[in-house]
Amino acid sequence: MGILNLHTVPARRTRRMTQTALLALLTSGALSYANATTYTLNKADDTVIGQDQTVITVYQDTLYGLAAAYSLGSEELIRVNPGVDPWLPGAGKQITVPGRHILPPGPREGIIVNLPEHRLYYYPKPKRGGPVEVITYPVSIGKMDWRTPLGLTRVIQKQKDPTWFPPESVRKEHAEAGDPLPVKVGPGPNNPLGAYAMRLAAGDGTYLIHGTNNPIAVGLAVTHGCIRMYPDDVAALFPLIPVGTPVRLINEPVKVAWVDGELLLEAHPPVDALGQSFEPEIEEFSELLRAAVGDTTVAIHWDYAREVLQKANGVIATVGLEAELPTPPEAAPASSTAPTSTASSTADGAGK
């Protein structure tokens, strides 16, 4: 399989603003965000979309503003640029923008949310004879005891300008923190659901894919179990999603793909049963890689693979090459002495 020759519809906008102005806009919910990028798959089995790139900052830039402009979660961009002050990176800094993604495993239909990746993928139904497309957005997921449930569900309701009825458990949490909540919050800038919400069948209808009035937190494990999106992103997705659309919530911190005989690895911080990210335990993470590769004969550079797994920053790396098994010698005549083969399976020593 080759890397896609993509027909890309970029919806990225350059953001140039001061830290003070950005913070004010984030607080007010007025900041306009870039929509996701739509990718056209040239072949049904294409597995990699997008491209990584670098940008050079100007003095007004922040990593939060750049993350929003390039359809990334804030933590997603901060993680791949360690040591850079997210609020004051300064002018002339080279920033890595991770825009390349391995498509998640499983059926390519409806919505897929990969929790460790903090990313949503949507496959619109292709027109007859038309190509397969995928649209991807960064999201926030549930935290603490507000676990975002795994498994297959579906959209059962869509609401524009929803009213939020805080569950009793959420009201109790806020009350204990000295921040009491009303019984209901109507549409407007104080509504944490934003302007659009799509209700899922999971959890007796208590889970939503929705917007936010706190866009700086997109990409973090900060919601009460729901899936939170940038305001512009949910506004773009909302009209595309019919009621009944299947939604798969998965937990795949390690993704692999074969491209032109190379083994590509994409690793993200794993999440626990409560939705919280944690540092990977390298041997357990390595087992996930072995399981993902399966029975394929592959020569893996394990030192480098473990380094990629340890970083778990979501940047795709080539960690192995598909190996060909030695061709068995042709059967010799019975009277001849069969040659002794000195070849061995590349896979035998690859994982040691």
In three-state secondary structure terms, 222 is: strand
- Each residue's pLDDT, cut to its tens digit, for the chain (352 residues) gives 333 323 333 333 333 333 344 444 444 333 434 445 789 998 878 999 999 999 999 999 999 999 988 989 888 899 999 999 999 999 999 999 999 999 999 999 999 999 899 999 999 998 887 889 999 999 988 654 456 678 899 999 999 999 877 667 677 777 777 777 777 777 888 888 889 999 999 877 788 999 987 777 786 666 566 889 999 999 999 999 999 999 999 989 999 998 998 999 999 988 876 566 677 788 888 888 888 888 777 888 999 999 999 999 999 999 999 776 555 556 545 544 444 433 333 344 444 4
Residue type, 210: H
CB 254 within 8 A of CB 270: no
Domain boundaries, the chain: 8-250, 254-333+344-350
Supply the pTM of this predicted model: 0.79
**d(C-alpha 256, C-alpha 180), whole Å:** 45
The answer to whether residues 133 and 41 touch, using CB atoms and an 8 Å cutoff, is yes
* 120 beta partners: 113, 137
Active site residues: 210, 226
Tokens of 136: 């991807």
Residue 338 gets which letter from DSSP?
P
Q: Determine the Cα–Cα distance for residues 218 and 228; give it in Å rounded to an integer.
A: 7
Region of 205 on the Ramachandran plot (φ > 0 left; ψ -120 to 50 alpha; else beta)? left
Q: Does domain 8-250 have CATH number 2.40.440.10?
A: yes
